[in-house]
Structure 1
């Protein structure tokens, strides 16, 4: 795709609005567009900060997390990102926090809503020197609380968009070293993500919200996609796979994990399936809400197949994790 000649957030917003119509039904093309739009937006943010505060004072990496990190964004998406920079004394911290705030503003202007949980480079938790990041990751893993492990799992789905990818690889290596010393920690990760709402009833019916503003709705991302995303994240942690993309994680699993690897094709179809129903949605708040009463009989059966395969993947993942921890 040809990069637009733009130098303002407003121009980038209009480019998004005009071009996304051409790619909204193709998962790969849609996410390639998101990648290019985010990269261009962050470059303009860096130029704006440079014009006022001078160039970045140290080597750094800007990375995306969440669906952007996994190359799994829908038509609309929120922000999940961070900054890591090289520093020996932390003096560069104020500069990169300014940059993080400008990036958050820039992405919001272009159409990516701010993260409710403040998982953004504008927050001190997600904008740190390499040494401070290592200390924080170590602290998260030692505390082992639900919140700190959630932060860690969020971080692990990260991918560098601008800067040196080796900075991020070095941070992920801290996680792997901890897992080498304490392999049973992976079971705590599983407990952190295993909680999920049941989607199919005892009579084979789809379980939807029965009341409220989202009546007759299934949350497609949380209920249907996340069993695949969560499982492959856990397997990537156990197998020391740094790639954040779920499809790439499937591909990089050991050959002997055939039963799990075969579900990669199911997940790829699921990523395409969800795009069929997003055309009328105009906001991030509703993009993942699927109206079951609007589906055909065939579409309902297809959806049930994705749900059942996700549940099976969870069980296979648990079996592999237990085996890796020395349990039967």
Structure 2
């Protein structure tokens, strides 16, 4: 595939073949993104010459966690090991990558978390300062940026750059354990999906009226709980499933939630495999669910809330002993 148009056509033709298996689907996304980035790299190299420094292109969000559904938006960044003078080159590359990914079918990130934004395209030295600033400011938006960054993995380039930055974060958190409380507070709000009488609570207004917002009501409690434990135990892997695997020995209670999360991934894929947009992926019409499926969805929610509650208690308790 030698152009964005060819990749877009390939994506469209092949998606139905991989949309019934979560792991195969995410490997397919990696293939599409990898090919797109390499075309962008070739284009920029033709205009600006070879990259002026070693670099890493990394994914964040659901792509970083290997948890994409059939549609996804863009969350990515660049780290380079060079002087600030190199930034113009890598911002041009980030802009071309963003443009290419848009053309092949990945929506722009609403929060501009993309390598075309100078905040997410910096030298490793500037990144070190950025990560430290996010944590020490400890404001809601700065911690949200940090948590977004932490769910990351390198797709192309130097993997050690990202590990170095995560280790910087671990060192800061170890020195200032009160920050764990702020991180817990940052992700404690969960959009209610179940009412006082055990009924599902769909959206009441707008385009998705009558639908459950799956991402906020159901996925986030699992993702946020495992991320907090990964930060506490210095686990660099971003995948929620990988975190389950690496953390279960230290936190045996999470084992009973791992299978629920796997089933939740399959549940979303089954009901949203024919979604026509990124926004549609995260909304399931309540009318499309049988009584049994509604009950299954409520169980996913209840267990996610319980997992997060137990995790919050552990982090807060251990943090209090460090202070």
Q: TM-score, normalised by structure 2?
A: 0.97
Q: Deviations over 1:173-194 (max 9, x none)?
A: 1110001101121110111011
Matched, 1:114 2:108: yes
Which residue of the partner structure matches residue 147 of structure 1?
141
Q: Match for 1:67 among 43, 47, 62?
A: 62
| RMSD over aligned Cα atoms | 1.2
Which residue of the partner structure matches residue 258 of structure 2?
264
Which residue of the partner structure matches residue 231 of structure 1?
225
Distance in 2 (alpha carbons) for counterparts of 1:302 and 1:240: 33
Moved over 6 A (4+): none
Q: Deviations over 1:144-201 (max 9, x none)?
A: 1001000000000000000010000000011100011011211101110111111111
Unaligned runs of 5+ in 2: none
TM-fit CA distance, 1:326: 2.9
Distance in 1 (alpha carbons) for counterparts of 2:130 and 2:252: 36
CA contact (8 A) 1:232 1:246 kept: yes
Q: Give the alignment of 1:135-214 within 5 angstroms.
A: 135-214=129-208
TM-fit CA distance, 1:213: 2.6
TM-fit CA distance, 1:211: 3.2
Structure with higher helix content:
2
Which residue of the partner structure matches residue 42 of structure 2?
47
TM-fit CA distance, 1:116: 1.1
Distance in 2 (alpha carbons) for counterparts of 1:146 and 1:211: 27
CA contact (8 A) 1:100 1:120 kept: yes
TM-fit CA distance, 1:286: 1.6
Which residue of the partner structure matches residue 73 of structure 2?
78
User: What SS is found at the alignment partner of 1:92?
Assistant: helix
Matched, 1:56 2:51: yes
Unaligned runs of 5+ in 1: 1-5
Matched, 1:290 2:305: no
CA contact (8 A) 1:10 1:110 kept: yes
Q: Deviations over 1:200-241 (max 9, x none)?
A: 112111111223332211111111111101111111111110
User: What SS is found at the alignment partner of 2:279?
Assistant: coil
CA contact (8 A) 2:203 2:213 kept: no
Which residue of the partner structure matches residue 38 of structure 1?
33
Distance in 2 (alpha carbons) for counterparts of 1:84 and 1:149: 19
